Structure 1
Amino acid sequence: MQKTRTRRCRICGSEEEHALYVAKETILGTFEKFSYFQCLDCGCLQISDIPANLADFYSQDYHTNILEFESRKTNAVSRFWREKATELLLSIPIGKGSPPPLFAKAFPGFLWRFKELGLNLHSRILDYGCGRGHFLFRLREWGFRNLFGVDPFYHGQDMIEEGISLKKGDYTLLGESFDLIILNHVIEHLEEPLAILRTLKERLTPTGTILVSTPIADSYGWRKFGNSWAMWDPPRHLHVFTAKAMALAAGRAGLQIAKVEYDAGKNLWATSQFFALHPEQKTPISQEELTRRQKPIRRWMRLLDEIGDSDMATFYLVLRPDNQNDVPGNSLSGFGDIDG
């Protein structure tokens, strides 16, 4: 690591002396090196120069395969009862906080989150950076009917079918208003995250929410594993935020953080361990190896979630009232990724 004065933070604008790092691509096994710097003021870890051929680093299977998911669709009867169960669960008062154990076992985590947000089956939901639409198809299986997806790296044709609209492109295609906008491990891939947050804010209904799930650069995992940290993922992750950087970005976009949920990510920790022990390994880590490495660290990861020092977080962004200070809200844990 060395120091540089030549870079300006793309999140907070700081031109102080920042820490400079070099990290290698590992997912595709190219081991190509990329320069990053970490802002001294907001802590955002960001690539020094965005590659002109960035799309080349996204293989066609980087996102979930829509055909694979569709082959596992539930039958009409099962889907009918799922829809009725979802409608009932979203309408009855169960309380807030972590979901009851029975609920957590019987239903996907996103239903509890949607219930807390006051959504219903007719709410308009946008998955920005939807990949091949896996999460939108999953939502449809649980009865949601107004689903939209946009992704600049979508490897498929634009489609509209049974309540789902998928488009290849960026935020300039958006012309609708939404009750919920999801960026599930997307913001770290964006070349201009501030510009996109500003545009998405304009597409939010007055009571709407933007959910942003993303890696956290000042987490214990980053401090422990350094160049082997799985969530770094160069060069695809262009900006790895801290909670402070996210609060600043939200404020500059006319938003504020209402709540934060932390998630250590057992697969990511196991992968980071593997990279640290096998830095030149070109074969992807197997599921068996992931499972073996997860068991002894689960308790530790739960502790990191509780103290807000986990590798990932989900930020609830809402419209900021006039003259509202840019401060993070409550810190909660327990849900993981948006589509959990």
Structure 2
Amino acid sequence: MSAFIPGSKDLKPFEIHTPSGPHASRSTSEACRICGSNGASRTVEAREHMYGTSESFRYVQCLGCGVLYLASPPADMARFYPADSYYSVRGMRGALRRWAMEARDKSYVGESLLGRLLAKRFPNSAIASTVALAKGRKSRILDVGCGSGDLLKSMARLGYVNLVGVDPLLQGSTLSDGVQLHGGEIADVPGQFDLVCFHHSLEHIADQVGVLQQAASKLAPDGSVLVRVPTSECLAFTLFGEHWFQIDAPRHLYLHSQKSLEIVANAAGLEAVSFSRDSQPMQFWASQLYADGHSLVSPQAKAYAARYSTRFYRRLSAWLNEQGQGDQMVVRLRPLWA
């Protein structure tokens, strides 16, 4: 079945996956990895689309807590994170783009007319959410899964001075543009922090409870954990099913619902203080790109991005965020004993 989104008559209809398709329910004897339920689940056969290898991977969605998880992660996961092209370690490219993004980011900490205009058109949810929870420019901030450190370097340019990042894709420890970067896991980072961030990194981590326990152990008094992740509770997953780009098989191991993330957080000694959504039009254009058989690195990607990043889709994304149906979730966690 297919349906047009109002206002998109010039575009191809989105495919809606019905219960008889890849979302068909089935009973399973395997307990859910998050809530432990042995109840009904449904499966999604998703393909690797970022680089276009088209390898198939089975995901299971628990109908008890809503989490969607990869059934059998590949043993050679490293090959799906190529060091020369994976986006998080590649860094920002282009002098003009960098200048524009720096002007935009200034709007989150002060007055900048150009920055406000750019932020309205090209929002930086990572900066916005981090600044909102940071306790001033001397806040001790740890970014888990920081990649090349672009976010932290942007924060440094805004005057933040206690910035640390860790990522298993990095090698060794360096001081770069005022930011301490470490190769490894969160357990390898010393010290306490006012804010520990997971900007689209938690979904890549196998031990969900363990890594949040580590984050909780590194919090200073009155500290918070900021989690930004894709969420399976969204219109884009309903529309696109296995082609929803946020599945990102096999790199994304867990795609949480609000309920399943709360279960994981509580098991780690944390509680959710707030939930919000910050999805963007990419939920539509990248998913349609995949549904049409193209990869994210294909020549067609730029054209799809342009066609689906119109004012209508920006407004639709904002409305979905307000309705709790955007495909990205922003969560603030704090220790249960706080």
How would you bin the TM-score normalised by the shorter chain?
0.7 to 0.9
> Residues 97-137 of structure 1: CA distance to partner in whole angstroms, max 9, x if unpaired?
xx999984487666654554351221111010001111111
Q: Is 1:283–2:307 an aligned residue pair?
A: no
Q: Is 1:302–2:292 an aligned residue pair?
A: no
Q: TM-score, length-normalised on structure 2?
A: 0.80
CA distance in 1, matches of 2:196, 2:295: 38
> Residues 264-287 of structure 1: CA distance to partner in whole angstroms, max 9, x if unpaired?
321221111222233689825432
- Listed as ranges, the matches of 1:66-215 within 5 Å are 68=92, 104-105=116-117, 113-114=129-130, 116-117=132-133, 119-154=135-170, 156-161=171-176, 163-215=178-230
SS at match of 2:309: helix
Contact 1:214–1:240 under 8 Å retained in 2: yes
User: Which residue is 1:26 aligned to?
Assistant: 49
Task: Mark the CA change 1:165 to 1:199 in structure 2 (over 3 Å): closer, same or farther.
Answer: same
Aligned Cα RMSD in Å? 3.3
Q: What number of residue pairs does the alignment pair up?
A: 307
Q: Is 1:248–2:248 an aligned residue pair?
A: no
Contact 1:150–1:171 under 8 Å retained in 2: yes
SS at match of 2:87: coil
Q: Is 1:62–2:86 an aligned residue pair?
A: yes
User: Which residue is 1:328 aligned to?
Assistant: none
Q: CA shift at 1:249, angstroms?
A: 1.1
User: Which residue is 2:35 aligned to?
Assistant: 12
Q: CA shift at 1:163, angstroms?
A: 3.4
Q: CA shift at 1:70, angstroms?
A: 10
CA distance in 1, matches of 2:287, 2:109: 41
Amino acid at match of 2:26: K
Contact 1:182–1:210 under 8 Å retained in 2: yes
Amino acid at match of 2:87: H
Q: Is 1:311–2:335 an aligned residue pair?
A: no
Amino acid at match of 1:287: K
Task: Mark the CA change 1:233 to 1:211 in structure 2 (over 3 Å): closer, same or farther.
Answer: same
Contact 2:164–2:181 under 8 Å retained in 1: yes
Contact 1:250–1:257 under 8 Å retained in 2: yes
Q: CA shift at 1:309, angstroms?
A: 0.8
SS at match of 1:36: strand
Q: CA shift at 1:14, angstroms?
A: 1.8
Task: Mark the CA change 1:196 to 1:102 in structure 2 (over 3 Å): closer, same or farther.
Answer: same
Q: Is 1:225–2:249 an aligned residue pair?
A: no
Give the % identical residues.
Answer: 28
User: Which residue is 2:279 aligned to?
Assistant: 264
User: Which residue is 2:74 aligned to?
Assistant: 51
SS at match of 1:231: helix
Amino acid at match of 1:228: H
CA distance in 1, matches of 2:298, 2:79: 19
Task: Mark the CA change 1:153 to 1:250 in structure 2 (over 3 Å): closer, same or farther.
Answer: same
